[in-house]
Structure 1
Amino acid sequence: MGRGGAPSPGLSEGVVKKIMLSYLYVGIWIFLSFTVIVYNKYILDRKMYNWPYPISLTLIHMAFSSTIAVVLVRVLRLVEPPTSPPMTRELYISSVIPIGALYSFSLWFSNSAYIYLSVSFIQMLKALMPVAVYSIGILFKKETFKSSSMANMLSISLGVAIAAYGEARFDVWGVSLQLAAVAFEATRLVLIQILLTSKGISLNPITSLYYVAPCCFLFLLVPWVIVELPVLRQTSSFHLDFFIFGSNSLCAFALNLAVFLLVGKTSALTMNVAGVVKDWLLIAFSWSVIRDTVTSVNLIGYGIAFLGVAYYNHVKLQGMKAKEAQKKTTQDEDEETGSLLEERDSDGLRKSDSQA
């Protein structure tokens, strides 16, 4: 206690607990995201497990996630689907199916890139996500064009271009696949805001997988039958390792839960900042353990992109603070107006009583 019985300026136990829990959520998400990325690389890379079938791997993930989600929602009824507004057939066709299609292509191309590119370089290319989200947001009129924001996007793009220039294992096809995955994922994120969030529909990870995973499975089934099934039939010596693919699918499913936990208990901005930390850890892991070549030009380019992403997150944080301050000001004004109206009503009541 301070002088005069005032509380000491130290943090309260509740605040400390909240901070520690936030760090725990961040740690869980980083660990699972890290594990899924490295695990997928291990399975798909020809020099490691040597199972270069990204569509098949994604199909296994979607089948696993669909099964778990259906059991939890339909059989055990531990999770309730949204009811206000309800998920109608029309809403599913107009909103969920486009999002599911984009998600399936994003996962397919992203997993395909692991066959051709190093883990470190893929993480550097993923730094373009804010650029893609901002550009597509402008296209769909969800973002306002600002010269300062565009300059920031150009700095991120320049950094990634320098990193690509210094890449020792540059592969045009692999880069094209990863850039396509970024474009599909960015479009999906924007459409979630337009098609679901704007309509007041909020999905947790279980209900998201319950609606989206079967849709993804069906969208991936067609290219799988055309592209990978004929090749798999020829490799009759291969037998599905249930431990490898089961544990891999379980990690992917747990990552979806961790995303919801992190965003729900902290914020999407926290996940973005944690993602930057995860990228540096993956680059270090890729260089030290997997023995991928990371050049000085790679690091300089990614360093420039990293500063651009950090500034992007800073601007987002300031915007969130400004919105919160404006919301608080509006609430205070509403409360003050309500108090004045109550005071005026009570004054009028007293006058009418005195006149009576």
Structure 2
Amino acid sequence: MVAPVIGRASDRFGRRRTLMVCMAGNIVWTVLWIYSSSFETFLVARVIAGLCEGNVQISNTVIADVTDVNTRSSGMALVGIAFAVGFTLGPSIGAYFSTKTSNEATVSAYAPFAMAAMFSLALLLIESAYLYVKLPETLHFKKSPASQQPSKQAKGDSPRVRQVLQRLNMVHFAYLFFFSGMEYTLTFLTHDKFNFTNMQQGRLLGFIGITSTILQGGYVRRVKGRSGSQGDKALVTQGMVGCTLGLLSIAICCFNAKDDGPSWWLWAGAVGFAVASATVVNCLNSMVSLAGDSPGESRAGGTDTGRRLGDFRSAGQIGRALGPVFACSVYWLAGATVCYIVGAVAVAAITLTFVTGIPAKAHSGTHKTE
């Protein structure tokens, strides 16, 4: 809910200043987490965390500021790669530190798993210091003399561009509603059907994360580098198709579940999830930031990029919050096979809507839909 506010704040006060405020909020909530000996204190910490969750959003906005229409897509992939690496390594590091506790004389002063929080705090302090020293303000970053000309975008989006942005936001919401929901049930599935241990579940999720990282660093960046903005729609479509096939593979795995362990269908489904993770959201981010730019325009991101990406992220986060509730309800009420079939059909419908309803690039003015 605060993503649009953070986006607009970065447009008004600057990316660097807004990001540093978010980092300060992250430090505050992590300190509260360390000392949250009661659930109420921990809940307050999590509320502060939600209010200050602008790191990824502003990172995307900064990249939009310093890239043009030809390099925006490959630049956005860098955030995706960093995200995938973090999601791959983070759970393992957190699991390690969760086994460590303070000495008995002081343990009562800290929250459970305080060592993991202390490690997170150390990383946040290092990151904040680095950003304070190294990150310049990019709000009015200019790439060329041509970018000094007044931008049409500064006058507001045209009705056609606003329509495209609204459709992209709806696609983002619907896609993450089903994708995050189905992803959330994977741990239920592997424990319920195949008696996976925590280590085995970690290997499965790690496989998805590593595969996603490799795809983003290799395939996705190369396709974006060659095709620029024209490749974004193709990559989003490929990712959604991969997600659909992955969900169907997991549904087949559930239908053919055996006591001696999962079939290769489960790992095929994991590959589909990895393809989706590597492509869809990052390329949608790029499409949102590029909507309305003229084909020959070389300027950096407009001064309303924060607003656009804030609205876009807000739609996705709402879907990510509600999706697991829906997916878990279907999983436990109708069964795993039905759950993943429903997910596959839904993502296929979203893919069709995206392909037929959204142009590869919405240029400002009266440029025809591609």
Q: Give the TM-score of the pair, scaled to structure 2.
A: 0.28
The structure having more radius of gyration, on CA atoms, is: 1
Q: Give the TM-score of the pair, scaled to structure 1.
A: 0.29
